[in-house]
Amino acid sequence: MSNLLEVRDLSVRAGGKEILHGVNLSIREGDVGVLMGPNAAGKSALLKTIMGDPRYEIVRGSILFNGVKINDLKPYERVKLGIALAFQNPPRIGIKLGYFIDKLSEEFGSNADSVIDELGIRQLVGRELFHGFSGGEMKKTELFITLLQRPRLALLDEPDSGVDIDSLSVIASMINRLIDAGSSILLVTHTGHILRYLRRLDVIHVMINGKIVYSGDPSIMEKILRYGYEKFEKYGVVESGRAIK
Amino acid sequence: MRSLRSTEWSKVEGRLNNLLRNAKEALRKRAPYGPDIDLEEFNFEEEGDVENETIESLPPDLRKAGEAVGIDVNERRVSGTYLQIDGRVLRSTVLKWLRERGLIVAPISEALRKFNWLKDYYWSAIPVDQDKYTAAAEVFRQHGYFIYVPPNVKIEIPVQTCLLMSCHRGAQAVHNIIIADENSELNLITGCATTANRGLHIGVSEFFVKRGARVTFTMIHGWAPEFHVRPRAAVVVEEGGTFVNYYINMHSVKSLQMLPTVIEHRNACSYLTTIVLGRGSAFMDVGGRIIFRGENARGEITSRSVIRDSAKVIMRGQLIAEAQKVRGHLECRGLLLSDSAEAEAIPSLKSKFNDVELTHEAALGRISEEEMIYLMMKGFNEDEATALLVRGFIDAGLQHLPESLRFAAISTLEMAARMAKG
């Protein structure tokens, strides 16, 4: 299968300093990929850069989507190509959720009204986006919005952080729904909690200090979770995939 | 009896004569707020005839202007219509079954001749000599509408009134009286629009919401870049009554100044919402005032202004407690879309009583970069994102309107949001 997303030698600057250093990462069409790493490793920054957040400046390298370089495209142009990002911490937006859902449905020709009840967010539609939402409500809403966008590639930024167990399985079932619909996934997780609920996992990338230190077989995950990122980085685990150090 | 009647009549006549005299003396009296307008620059036409036309027979440009401010041209969703162009009344009608239940929609000139008791209400909520604009409405008398709903008659289907202007440099000065008798319900929608570019509109409105009655008043304005607009409204809400006012102005205007005043008696309740889009070099001084005169009265004033170009908008809100156990809240928010736009929020709370709760919040700001980026990352370009945020910003007060009026309000809001970016 060909690469749907290909990040080549990407270095990115934000807030006056370089935070990603020569990142290489690819996601094949239909792949479910995970990007793991400690806090502040640059995982969110990578997703936002792929999405075209103007606060992240590409200093070197390129991002290819479906073989086309998208470095200079505006965020909404990337959305039109089929990329979607579910935010880890979305900002408060002064638009009622119900109204936003209508606009998105109109924009993407989608209808997912029944999913609102599955997610248990019906009571939020009259409220402004993310104003006083709980952690779980934020994640569910972001995932719902992503579903409405019907993306070819869904970038999911820590959908499992700060979420209780019950919400976790609901969130996972939504991600599985995306997978079933044929979306490719790049999911960022710090803890890995969500992974055991997922239908499938094809590839894992580990990022530490703005660099990808491992890309390959997902079975590595158990070791990471057992030993922690620090040891993983120090001693490396080289049974499969690319070696580190 | 006969002599008593004639004494009463002469009292009334005497009062009317006094009103006219006071008005004439006040023709040069400046209003405390808003730029002063020289009335002599405008042509006050003679009070014209009362005709009986259909809205459909209107010239296409006027019809279109009316539609843009929510007027239902086919009258399919209304229980009555009053239509005035400049100084002429073109239409004044009520559905037959509602006429039989006592609903009146009529030119005030006609109503004053027909109903002697109406003279007791005439200029009883607003002083005729409040300023030169109220005075002009009395001196130049160019009709206006009278609406009456009898006790216990609840009319959900809106009554629509439409004040149009078509004469260049023309002035329209109307006087409206609305009476909702005890435990009645009235939903009124007013659309004001023009096809002329320069003019002056003065609208005096006196509302009387009797015990337990409920009135919603939706007013949508669509003026032109060289128009001065001076609405003058006062509302008396008796015990247990409810008054809901929803005002939208999204078109250009040279200057607009109004401060509708609501006087609430015991257990009365009111919600005033003002939504304006300041464009071009418009000057707008808007808002509202609630005087809580009876215990347990409640009220809310909400103002939302979107300001672009070099427009200036002042949002005034005044809550005055004159009784115990009063609760009121005031909210003024301005969204500035350009570097030369200007906004000012002037909230004011006043109480001499310890058991009242009056609160306010005011905020002026711009669209945040974070919100813009978020929306762009969800697929909306800069203009679409701005329109969405403006639409979200002006989404206020709709919950107090009946379903039948929300439609007109929402379509106006959608239009305003699209126009916000230019």
Per-residue pLDDT tens digits for B340-391: 999 999 999 999 999 999 999 999 999 999 999 999 999 999 999 999 999 9
DSSP state, residue B326: -
Q: Above 60 in pLDDT, residue A244?
A: no
Per-residue pLDDT tens digits for B295-323: 999 999 999 999 999 999 999 999 999 99
State phi, psi for B119 to the nearest 5 degrees.
Answer: -65, -25
Contacts of residue A15, Cβ cutoff 8 Å, sequence gap at least 6: A55
Per-residue pLDDT tens digits for A102-115: 999 999 988 878 88
Alpha helices, DSSP H, located in B105-222: 108-114, 132-140
The predicted pLDDT at position B107 comes to: 97
Q: Above 80 in pLDDT, residue B1?
A: no
H/E segment holding residue A185 = strand A184-189
Poorest-pLDDT segment among A15-29, A214-228, B178-192, B364-378: A214-228
Q: What is the ipTM of this complex?
A: 0.94
Alpha helices, DSSP H, located in B318-397: 369-376, 382-393
pLDDT, averaged across chain A: 91
pLDDT band for A243, please (50, 70, 90 cuts).
Answer: very low
Per-residue pLDDT tens digits for A148-207: 999 999 999 999 998 888 889 999 999 999 999 999 999 999 888 899 899 999 999 999
**Beta-bridge partner residues of A154:** A84, A185
Q: What's the mean pLDDT in B216-221? A: 96
- In a mutational test of the B interface, the residue from A93, A97, A125 whose CB has the highest number of chain B CBs within 10 Å is A93
- Residue A96: closest C-alpha in chain B: B392
Query: Is residue B177 within 8 Å of B206, Cβ to Cβ?
Result: yes
Which A residues 136-175 touch B at CB under 8 Å? 145, 149
From chain B, the residues in CB contact with A93 under 8 A are 371, 374-375, 389, 392
The predicted pLDDT at position B109 comes to: 94
Top pLDDT among B420 and A201 is at A201
Q: What's the mean pLDDT in A124-152? A: 95
Does A99 contact B391 at a Cβ distance shorter than 8 Å? yes
The predicted pLDDT at position A228 comes to: 85
Does A94 contact B393 at a Cβ distance shorter than 8 Å? yes
Cβ–Cβ contact B406 with A under 8 A: no
H/E segment holding residue B238 = none
Does B368 contact A91 at a Cβ distance shorter than 8 Å? yes
Q: What's the mean pLDDT in B38-55? A: 87
pLDDT band for B51, please (50, 70, 90 cuts).
Answer: confident
- Gap between the Cα atoms of B344 and B366, Å rounded: 14
Does B371 contact A54 at a Cβ distance shorter than 8 Å? no
- Gap between the Cα atoms of B211 and B341, Å rounded: 43
The predicted pLDDT at position B3 comes to: 46
Q: How far is A236 from chain B (nearest CA, A)?
A: 36
